[in-house]
Amino acid sequence: MAHNSSERPSQQRTLCKRGKRAKTPRAVHWSVLYGVLGIMLVLLLVAGGFLRALDHRVRSQFEGKRWALPARVYARPLELFVDLPLTLDDLTSELTSLGYRRPEHPDGPGSFTRQGDTIHFVTRAFRFWDGAEPSVPVQAAFRRSRLVSLRHAQSGESLPVVRLHPPLIGSIYPAHHEDRMVVRLSDVPPVLIEALIAVEDQRFYAHHGVDPRALGRALWANLRARTAVQGGSTLTQQLVKNFYLQPERLLWRKLQEALMALLLEWHYSKDDILEAYLNEIFLGQEGKRAIHGFGLASQFYFGRPVEELTLPQIALLIGLARGASYYNPRRHTDRAMERRNAVLDTLVDRGVIGPAEAQAAKAEGLGVTPEAPSGVSPYPAFLDLVRRQLRRDYREQDLTSEGLQVFTTLEPRVQKHGQQILATRLAALEKQQGLSAGALQGAVVVTRSQLGEVVALAGGRDPLAGGFNRALHAVRPIGSLIKPVIYLTALSRSPDYTLVTSLDDRPLRLQSNGKDWTPENFDHQYHGAVPLYRALAHSYNLATVRLGLALGVPQVVETVKRLGITRALDAHPSTLLGTMALPPLEVTQMYQTLASAGFRTPLRAIREVLTATGQPLQRYSLAVEQVAEPAPVFLLTTALQEAVRRGTARVLSHPFATSMAIAGKTGTTDDLRDSWFAGFTGDYLAVVWLGRDNNLPTGLTGATGALSVWDDLMRRISSQPLRITPPPQIEFVPVDPQGRRTDPYCPGAVTLPFITGTAPRVWAPSCEYRKTEEAEQQTPVRGGVFSDWFRRFR
Q: Is the dihedral of CA 166, 167, 172, 173 positive or negative?
A: positive
Q: Which of 170, 152, 154, 172 is nearest to 162 (CA)?
A: 152
Other Cβ atoms less than 10 A from the Cβ of 129: the count is: 16
Q: Which residues bind another protein (CB under 8 A)?
A: 79, 81-83, 129-131, 158, 160-161, 448-451, 453, 533, 596-599, 607-608, 619, 621-626, 630, 637-638, 641-642, 645, 661, 663, 682-683, 721-728, 730-734, 743-745, 749-752
Cβ neighbours around 448 below 10 Å, total: 21
Q: What is the largest CA-CA distance in the chain?
A: 147
Identity of the residue numbered 582: L
- Nearest distance from residue 129's CB to another protein, in Å? 6
Helix axes 483-491, 541-551, angle to 10 degrees: 50
| Among 565, 606, 604, residue whose Cα is nearest residue 583 | 565
Minimum gap (Å) between residue 248 Cβ and another protein = 51
CB of 456 to another protein, least distance (A): 15
CB 733 to another protein: min, Å:
6
* Contact (CB, 8 A) for 429 and 442: no
Nearest to another protein of 268, 533 (CB atom): 533
In Å, what is the CA distance from 689 to each residue of 237, 481, 502, 522? 59, 11, 32, 19
* 661 HSE (CA, 13 A, CB side): 11
Q: What is the CA radius of gyration of the chain?
A: 37
SS3 for 601-655 is CCCECEEEEECCCCCEEEECCCCCEECCCHHHHHHHHHHHHHHHHCCCCHHHCCH
Active site amino acids? 200, 480
Q: How many helices (H) and strands (E) does the chain have?
A: 27, 31
Beta-bridge partner residues of 122: 111, 137
Question: How far apart are the C-alpha atoms of 159 and 123, rounded to whole Å?
Answer: 13
Whole-number Cα distances in Å, 391 to 15, 405, 566, 715: 69, 14, 19, 35
- Please say which residue, 289 or 448, places its beta carbon nearer to another protein: 448
Q: CB of residue 472 vs another protein: minimum separation in angstroms?
A: 24
Of 519 and 664, CB closest to another protein:
664
Whole-number minimum distance, CB 739 to another protein, in Å? 13
From the CB of 88, what's the least distance to another protein, in Å? 19
